[in-house]
Structure 1
Amino acid sequence: MNGSTDEGPPAANKNAGTQTILRIVDILGLTASQGAQGASTAAIADRLGLSRATAHRMVKALRDAELLRRDPVDGRLRIGRLVWELGLGAVMEIEDGLALRPTVDAVARRTGHTAYLLARHGLDSVCIYRAEGRSVLRAIPVEPGQRRALGLGTGGVAMLSAYDPSEIARIVRARREAFDSIPGLTEERVIALAMAAKPDGLVVSHANFLPGVTGIGLLVPCRPNDPRFAVTIAAPSASLTAQDEQRVRKVLRSEVLRE
């Protein structure tokens, strides 16, 4: 025996295995980022630079493992049951964030608008909790579990503002593809919003990220260059007067900063 196998060189197999794992992570991340809208196999292939055959094969394997599920009504792909089950083991990692849920509930109750709790994960922000407001007119820009680039949305900008200016620019450049996908939004605009929020971590966005929607967000106090959470509200711009905005700002400061 010469010790050879039909499996190829060990280094090549290792690299191929790593690439497959990274592709799986990308597919799950992309699907999660679409929230309730879901994703399609074609969109996954196009966004991740995969052939349709490769995307179809990987999606099928992820569905078989219940990491993805296909909606029987609209055919869209969404995060599967196993991801939720595995996530239960990571609850302790966001325990501090879960402790902020009463704060988010209070913001929604006092303002009447839907309120959100966002957590930073690397260069992304993830919605980990949402409290419904009583207002008849609502805006739902993000769903619980949905992941977006840090700086995309008022909560993301609020967390981005905690970084040094050079780091803000680096993060925005690293995620430029996400910002370029929003009509009229530029890297320069995101950086400007983050810099304007640096004094107090407060961000007000008038339709910067979603047409007709105003968002107001506040950074949860943190160490320099280590943002962890932000609390935000979103509402149809037509339903918010200047006086309403001032009231929301006061409520956020009262509940988040205990001022």
Structure 2
Amino acid sequence: MASIPGIQVIGRAAAVLRAVSTAMPRGLSTSAVATATGLARPTAHRLLASLAAEGFLDHDALSSRWVPGPELYLLGAVAAERYDITATARPVVRALAEATGESAFLSARRGDETVCLLREDGAFPIRSHVLHEGIRFPLGVASAGLAILAFLPDVGVERYLASADLSEFGTTHDPARVRERVAATRTAGYAVNPGLLVEGSWGMGAAVFDTSGQPAWALSLTGIEARFSADRRPELGRLLLEHAHRLTQALRGR
């Protein structure tokens, strides 16, 4: 297929916007944006300046960091009418945090990634800070992304694993081991991440399905390893599945 003029620039601009939005609330320096996107620093700076000129980014003069601009807010407010499920999901995420005492999250699938949309902390005072609103992970890495990946069709799982590069997350994320976790997730109904992202920080996740039956979101829990003992995991899994089903039904009724 012939290359469309400007398509590379659009892809690079999109990568810059994603990098900056993922780094909220602090934002990113020009050098950090270049590193995150794999762009040369002068190229990154030109894109950042152009996006700022159009209102999609702002440059904080005090910190010298780039942050999302007002035009993104306005576009997001318009898109929210169709895509935003947080008003429906927040009571469910809060109820899950209250029932477990752990930090509970809602993440959405965006292509081959998950994006964390909501966080509600439970009563247990020690927090895991692996997840926060806006952070992105490839499918199959965090528990939310593993829960979503596991309930895609086999052909979708294999297509993803054939193209995904998860090497930055270590040998525990090679395709064979991800397949093993996909199989375990399908058997249990929920995903378990036994400290594979940050040692000692565990996660569990359950898929939330759209009206066509596809895994489009996930609820997850994170906490310290001692709170995810073998004796407690089945109860946490039951609560995850219960709340994920509740949210699935609520979204179908919107």
Residue in structure 2 matched with residue 215 of structure 1 by the alignment = 203
Residue in structure 2 matched with residue 3 of structure 1 by the alignment = none
Report the Cα distance in structure 2 between the residues aligned to 1:165 and 1:239, rounded to whole angstroms.
32
Deviation at 1:191, TM superposition (A): 2.5
The sequence identity of aligned pairs, in percent, is: 27
Deviation at 1:227, TM superposition (A): 1.4
Deviation at 1:79, TM superposition (A): 3.0
Residue in structure 2 matched with residue 88 of structure 1 by the alignment = 77
Question: Of 134, 138, 141, which residue of structure 2 is paired with 1:149?
Answer: 138
1:31–1:77 Cα contact (<8 Å) kept: yes
Task: Work out whether 1:59 is the aligned partner of 2:21.
Answer: no
Q: What are the within-5 Å matches in structure 2 for residues 55-204 of structure 1?
A: 55-71=44-60, 74-96=63-85, 98-176=87-165, 179-188=166-175, 189-204=177-192
Report the Cα distance in structure 2 between the residues aligned to 1:225 and 1:199, rounded to whole angstroms.
18
Q: State the AA in 2 paired with 1:169.
A: E
Equivalent residues, number: 244
Report the Cα distance in structure 2 between the residues aligned to 1:22 and 1:190, rounded to whole angstroms.
28
Q: What are the within-5 Å matches in structure 2 for residues 16-31 of structure 1?
A: 17-31=6-20
Call closer, same or farther: CA 1:208–1:225 in 2, change over 3 Å: farther
1:163–1:225 Cα contact (<8 Å) kept: no
1:35–1:145 Cα contact (<8 Å) kept: yes
Q: Over residues 139-191 of structure 1, what are the superposed CA-to-partner deviations in whole Å (9 max), with x where a residue is unaligned?
A: 12222222222222000010001112232122133331xx2112343232223
1:114–1:132 Cα contact (<8 Å) kept: yes
Higher mean Cα deviation, 148-157 or 62-71? Answer: 62-71
Task: Work out whether 1:248 is the aligned partner of 2:251.
Answer: no
Report the Cα distance in structure 2 between the residues aligned to 1:191 and 1:126, rounded to whole angstroms.
22
Call closer, same or farther: CA 1:238–1:256 in 2, change over 3 Å: same
Deviation at 1:133, TM superposition (A): 1.6
Report the Cα distance in structure 2 between the residues aligned to 1:236 and 1:208, rounded to whole angstroms.
12
Report the Cα distance in structure 2 between the residues aligned to 1:195 and 1:149, rounded to whole angstroms.
18
Deviation at 1:90, TM superposition (A): 1.2
Higher mean Cα deviation, 75-84 or 85-94? Answer: 75-84
Report the Cα distance in structure 1 between the residues aligned to 2:85 and 2:31, rounded to whole angstroms.
38
Deviation at 1:98, TM superposition (A): 4.0
Deviation at 1:109, TM superposition (A): 0.7
Q: State the AA in 2 paired with 1:144.
A: E
1:215–1:234 Cα contact (<8 Å) kept: yes
Per the normalisation by structure 1, the TM-score is 0.82
Report the Cα distance in structure 2 between the residues aligned to 1:68 and 1:87, rounded to whole angstroms.
13
Q: Over residues 202-258 of structure 1, what are the superposed CA-to-partner deviations in whole Å (9 max), with x where a residue is unaligned?
A: 001111122221001111245787211110000021343333323322221232235
2:189–2:241 Cα contact (<8 Å) kept: no
Structure 2 alignment gaps of length 5 or more: 247-254
Deviation at 1:47, TM superposition (A): 4.5
Q: Over residues 116-140 of structure 1, what are the superposed CA-to-partner deviations in whole Å (9 max), with x where a residue is unaligned?
A: 0111112121112111222110012
Deviation at 1:52, TM superposition (A): 1.8
Give the aligned CA root-mean-square deviation in angstroms.
2.7
Call closer, same or farther: CA 1:74–1:174 in 2, change over 3 Å: farther
Query: Larger radius of gyration, structure 1 or 2?
Result: 1
Report the Cα distance in structure 2 between the residues aligned to 1:35 and 1:187, rounded to whole angstroms.
29
Deviation at 1:37, TM superposition (A): 6.1
